[in-house]
Structure 1
Amino acid sequence: MKKEIIGVLIIIMILNITVLTSCWNYVEINDKRIVSGAAVDYDEKNDKIILTVETVTNRLGKETERTKQEIFYSEGSTIFEAIRNIIEKSGQKLFWSHAKVMVLSKSLLKNKNKFLGVIDFMDRDVELRDNIWLFVSRNKEAREILEANLQLDKIVAYHLEDMMENKKSVSKFHAVPLWEFVDKLAIKGISPVLPLVSKITYNNRDVVEVFGTVVFKKLESVGFLNGIETKSFLLVINELKGGTLVIQEDKLFDKPIKIAMEIFDNKTKITPVYSDEKLTMNIDVKTKVNINEIGAKIDLTDEKKIKRLQEKGEQVIKNDIQNVIKKVQKEYRSDIFGFGTIIERKFPKQWKKIRDKWDEYFLNLNIKVNVDLSIKGTALRLKSIDVED
């Protein structure tokens, strides 16, 4: 009996070793093309999704491993059909698990059903990661972005991913992964946005630039924010951690002088106040900067002059925030700031009463902005460069 039990255990152990130490769905990486990024256009005349895919293949050379970029095109009535049709041209099934970016065209955004189909596929498909970065092409066609001939044979998708990871230094776009866009579509009280990307020519070579924001109301793109407006938007939602602030000062100099400051820290707190059946959103902004450039002679050891520059900076930030909120309220009528979700957390009972009429409430919502700017440093100099007259 003991021998039979031991025999059975040995068989089970052998089976476990065989199953657990092998990959049942293992595929040699050379049997697939790795997708680094994709672009989706829409042909309205023929009612077709036009898919552009950037793929990378690794090839071992004599000394190092070299990465090769290839672009493939296909079309279909849906994005899934377009993906399957691309196999006819690539000769291999595409490997989507390493895809970094998806660029969408304005023509696609105009057709809500096609746009929803693309987003639904991306969110539903098991291969695509939910942290893939989304963009809207400023160029006529989204494929133009992936076709950019970047210096040093860079992979366009990887270049865009690097830009998203280093967004702190620019602060003129809001990096949006797929999961965030999908979540905001499903939540009442906040609307999604996407960054704008464009291919431009600079010094006779292609450059990919991410600058500005597309404003959505549900699935409809209703407007755009430029770089300055986007920076103010990031300030409001507490997503701005760097960038520059430029002010123009005239009282401390003989003529108006521009002063550049570097933002190295920012904290924004939004507090809803409910009084006399009226809602007010208090936005308190605390920003820390260093002075990095002054185009005139000034002694920055003088506290009165520092205070003057602080006040000027506070006014600039306050005006910019008020302007972008007013624009979004009156022109786009889309709560990209998430005021509704903040009210729901703080005043759930009141939110239930106004939830279905939030668009109307948002349009007339009273907003107060307070800015506290601190100049913490002057880089390596306390005084301007002394130039002999």
Structure 2
Amino acid sequence: MKQTYNHVQFLQVLLAVLLLLSLTGCWSSHEIEELSLGIGVAFDKGKESTIEKELNEQGEGYSKKDLITSAYQLITPQVASSTTKQAGPQQKSYVNVSETGDSVLQMIREVSLRSEQPITAHHMKVIVIGEDLARSLNLEQLLDQNLRDNDYRPSCIVLISKGRASKTLETKTAGEIPAFRLVGIVDNEYKSTRILPPMSLIKIESKIQSGSSFLLQNVVSANGEVKFTGAAIIKGKTNKMTGFLNEEELDGVTWITGKGKGGLVKSFDKDTGQLIVYEIESMKSSIKPRVKGNNISFDVNIESEGRLPETWVVSGDTFKNEFLKKAEKSSEKEVKRLVRNSLEKMQKEYRVDVAGFGNRLRIENPKVWKKVKKDWDKTFSETPINYDVKLTIKDYGTSGGLKKK
């Protein structure tokens, strides 16, 4: 009995030892001190750097075309620790490294010739593409490596920059990390109708595969500051940028799609010319295709509920239905103006559908869509669109009016 017990104990110990030998851990892992974590990248039209120019003059550079300049924003353990220990007005929490070439992957590999810490892209948050490059290069080609390589997460957000994209990855504020700042602004879409829903790599791939035209959020930069202002139009046939919508035109597109999560409408009272502000609490829109023979048209029905947070109409009593109806009509008129201007821009100037009209036709009338999808943007530019707007003020705050007695 005792021998059997000892035998069982021996087998248990042996099994434990064998299990320990099998726990090799992450055999392909790297120490965090050896990594440079890429958190953002900017793509611009090629501009040779000082070190590359010197190498080329000496005949020591590698064979390439100066097609693209990429700027990688990195966080390294050394940068993080030095920022903590030596915080000061000029201290940066990041480093930017630039390369110029004609292959995105090769540019990443070139960084390993200049630094002992190669780029790791698993934590890449944002890709910013400069206007000049977006106009001249097909986005399917530019983003091919990012879409193929599993180093980049499909949730990585893509933006367009008016001017050099690399400038959006700079800041003068100590401790601020520009890539995180851009992602943080995207998260503010519940505050404004002028911020598009995040356009990730995976969403862009689906747009490219479908041949649809679409919008990318535009960001401008100056003196280390940035602002989201309007959107870039990417034409489905070419996958290149064809123009911009300004802030108000993007406002109009948001109302058409009904995808806004918050924001406001600023209008002026018809009688007094004074300010009225309507704040959006909810928004929805329905796009209904109408097909009669070979004729296609659309009806857009926009509805919203909101509140009256600010009015400069001193002769109005905001507790009275009469004034609230007046404020609703004033705000509705402004929304209609925004929608009209956006449609004018899409249909007459750029001749592209970036608001999802074609998608609604595809869903509700697939047979008709099959006939027109090949040249939908042209068909869309000649299609009548009717729209109706209904805003309802549900809340008018605690101030009951400034009417003088």
User: TM-score, normalization: structure 2?
Assistant: 0.84
Equivalent position of 1:87 in the other structure: 112
Contact residue 121 and residue 152 of structure 2 kept, 8 A: yes
Structure-1 separation of matches of 2:269 and 2:377: 39
**Partner residue of 1:57 out of 76, 79, 92:** 76
Equivalent position of 1:3 in the other structure: none
**Partner residue of 1:166 out of 168, 180, 188:** 188
Structure-2 separation of matches of 1:246 and 1:103: 31
**Cα distance change of structure 1 residues 380 and 107 upon mapping to structure 2, 3 Å threshold:** same
Report deviation, 1:379: 2.0
Could you give the per-residue CA deviations for residues 110-150 of structure 1, whole angstroms, max 9, x where no partner exists? Answer: 3325x4332111111110111111111112x211111232x
Report deviation, 1:230: 0.7
Cα root mean square deviation, aligned: 2.9
**Cα distance change of structure 1 residues 165 and 65 upon mapping to structure 2, 3 Å threshold:** farther
**Partner residue of 1:123 out of 135, 138, 147:** 147
Residues 1:282 and 2:306 aligned together: no
Contact residue 72 and residue 90 of structure 1 kept, 8 A: no
Q: Could you say which structure has the larger radius of gyration?
A: 2
Contact residue 130 and residue 165 of structure 2 kept, 8 A: yes
**Partner residue of 1:296 out of 299, 313, 322:** 313
Contact residue 189 and residue 260 of structure 2 kept, 8 A: no
Residue identity opposite 1:128 in structure 2: Y
Can you give the 5+ residue segments of structure 1 that lack an aligned partner in the other structure? 1-5
Residue identity opposite 1:281 in structure 2: F
Residues 1:97 and 2:142 aligned together: no
**Cα distance change of structure 1 residues 354 and 19 upon mapping to structure 2, 3 Å threshold:** farther
Residues 1:368 and 2:386 aligned together: yes
Could you give the per-residue CA deviations for residues 181-233 of structure 1, whole angstroms, max 9, x where no partner exists? Answer: 22111114x312111111124xxxx3111111001112121111111111111
Report deviation, 1:39: 0.8
Residue identity opposite 1:246 in structure 2: K
In the TM superposition, what are the counterparts of 1:264-283 in structure 2 within 5 Å? 264-283=281-300
Residues 1:146 and 2:169 aligned together: yes
Moved more, 347-356 or 59-68: 59-68
**Cα distance change of structure 1 residues 19 and 368 upon mapping to structure 2, 3 Å threshold:** farther
Residue identity opposite 1:51 in structure 2: S
Contact residue 181 and residue 193 of structure 1 kept, 8 A: no
Equivalent position of 2:274 in the other structure: 257
Equivalent position of 1:40 in the other structure: 43
Could you give the per-residue CA deviations for residues 135-184 of structure 1, whole angstroms, max 9, x where no partner exists? Answer: 11112x211111232x2320000111111112221221313211112211
Could you give the per-residue CA deviations for residues 322-345 of structure 1, whole angstroms, max 9, x where no partner exists? Answer: 220121011111111121121111
Structure-2 separation of matches of 1:65 and 1:8: 57
**Cα distance change of structure 1 residues 20 and 336 upon mapping to structure 2, 3 Å threshold:** farther
Report deviation, 1:299: 0.3
User: TM-score, normalization: structure 1?
Assistant: 0.87
Could you give the per-residue CA deviations for residues 269-310 of structure 1, whole angstroms, max 9, x where no partner exists? Answer: 112122344222111111112112112311012212211221
Residues 1:238 and 2:278 aligned together: no
Report deviation, 1:385: 7.5
Structure-2 separation of matches of 1:343 and 1:16: 60
Equivalent position of 1:133 in the other structure: 157
Contact residue 167 and residue 222 of structure 2 kept, 8 A: no
Residue identity opposite 1:79 in structure 2: V
**Cα distance change of structure 1 residues 49 and 63 upon mapping to structure 2, 3 Å threshold:** closer
Report deviation, 1:369: 0.6
Structure-1 separation of matches of 2:365 and 2:298: 12
Equivalent position of 2:232 in the other structure: 214
**Cα distance change of structure 1 residues 349 and 213 upon mapping to structure 2, 3 Å threshold:** same
Q: How many residues align?
A: 375
Structure-1 separation of matches of 2:134 and 2:84: 46
Q: Secondary structure at the match of 1:71?
A: strand
In the TM superposition, what are the counterparts of 1:175-214 in structure 2 within 5 Å? 175-188=198-211, 190-201=212-223, 206-214=224-232
Could you give the per-residue CA deviations for residues 24-75 of structure 1, whole angstroms, max 9, x where no partner exists? Answer: 3222111110111111112279533211111112345898899831111122
Report deviation, 1:19: 4.3
**Cα distance change of structure 1 residues 62 and 177 upon mapping to structure 2, 3 Å threshold:** closer
Could you give the per-residue CA deviations for residues 328-387 of structure 1, whole angstroms, max 9, x where no partner exists? Answer: 01111111112112111111112122222323321111211111100111122121386x
Can you give the 5+ residue segments of structure 2 that lack an aligned partner in the other structure? 1-8, 49-64
Residue identity opposite 1:104 in structure 2: I
Q: Secondary structure at the match of 1:179?
A: helix
Could you give the per-residue CA deviations for residues 87-106 of structure 1, whole angstroms, max 9, x where no partner exists? Answer: 22232111111111111112
Q: Secondary structure at the match of 1:50?
A: strand
Moved more, 271-280 or 72-81: 271-280
Contact residue 69 and residue 101 of structure 2 kept, 8 A: yes
Residues 1:339 and 2:357 aligned together: yes
Q: Identity of paired residues, percent?
A: 23
